[in-house]
A and B are shown apart, each in its own frame.
Chain A
Amino acid sequence: MQPYDYIEIRVPAKAQYIGVARLTISGLASRLGFTYDEIEDLKIASSEAITNAVQHAYKDDEEGEVVVGCALYEEKLEIMVADRGKSFNFEETKKLVGPYNEKEEVQFLREGGLGLYLMETLMDDVKVHHEEGVTVFMTKYLGGERGDEDVERTISS
């Protein structure tokens, strides 16, 4: 059995659905036991990724979908955002996502700007994969850098 629950959200690549996906992620993060601040971080980071995907699709004049895949582990939440409306095989795509090469990073930074910076600041790990569109893969661990709270949570669970 896979060690996580997987939830996939597909929304049209339109700005009005970013908030809908954000609410879903907020609910999942709450279910996992993230703190209020961590949930707010997750909401911003995932919205930045989905916003990039929506704007990318809009620029190319496509009527695509954005796919948001969430893997809920006991100790972390993994979120994958793809700007091509194809469902992905979570494990396969995860393998493809690696450290971005310099050339791609520069281009993505120009497009994403502050958004990518926020994703990297608010999440524990962010990877970007370019192939048939852009896939952002990010992870946030329960407890994060706040060691004390982590201990409390472990005891209470």
Chain B
Amino acid sequence: MQIELLEENSVQRFKIVGEIDAFTAPLLKERLAKSEDVEGMQIELDLSEVGYMDSTGLGVFVGFYKAVKAKGGHVKIVGVNARLKRLFEITGLGEVMDIEVEESGDHDATV
């Protein structure tokens, strides 16, 4: 798993590439934690290149979402394909978090 950070118009955009599981989730959590303590952060998490994610990833995103919100900021999750959308939906987290679903989720079928 790799994480790239792009800053655009005061929005921090993290692009996460690869698989998020119990092995990589702690690295992701650590990387995101650097943005947690700043007031009023506007953050986008781009998951369009995430080929696999389970509850460990959901746990990291929920924790991050709460921490940023507590500091008056906002986290938006973008690039969510059909698979990830389903994961957010069945866990009920889709209703709690700000998630933008990708229009065509079919191109990830080779993962």
Contacts and interface: CB of A to CB of B under 8 A. Distances in A.
Contacts of A15: 21-23
A123 interface: no
A118 B54 contact: yes
Contact of A16 (B23, B55, B83, B90): B23
Contacts of A18: 21-23
Contact of A19 (B21, B87, B90): B21
Interface stretch (A41-49, A83-91, A96-104, A126-134): A41-49
Nearest to A119: B55
A19 B23 contact: yes
Contacts of B22: 15, 18, 47, 51, 54-55
A113 B93 CA distance: 14
Interface in A46-96: 47-48, 51, 54-55
A51 B91 contact: no
B58 interface: yes
B96 interface: no
B59 interface: yes
B87 A44 contact: yes
Interface in B72-97: 83, 87, 90-91
A47 B23 contact: no
A27 to B, nearest CB: 14
A19 B91 contact: no
Interface residues of A, number: 22
A18 B21 CA distance: 8
Contacts of A55: 22
A47 B54 contact: yes
B56 interface: yes
Contacts of A122: 90
A51 B58 contact: no
Given A19-B21, A22-B21, A44 B54 contact: yes
Interface string B46-73: 0000001011101100000000000000
Interface of B: 19, 21-23, 52, 54-56, 58-59, 83, 87, 90-91, 109
Given A18-B22, A44-B54, A118-B54, 17 more contacts: A15-B22, A18-B23, A19-B19, A37-B83, A40-B83, A43-B52, A47-B22, A48-B54, A48-B55, A51-B21, A51-B56, A55-B22, A114-B58, A114-B59, A114-B91, A118-B87, A122-B90
Closest 6 CB pairs of A and B: A15-B23, A114-B55, A51-B22, A15-B22, A115-B55, A44-B54
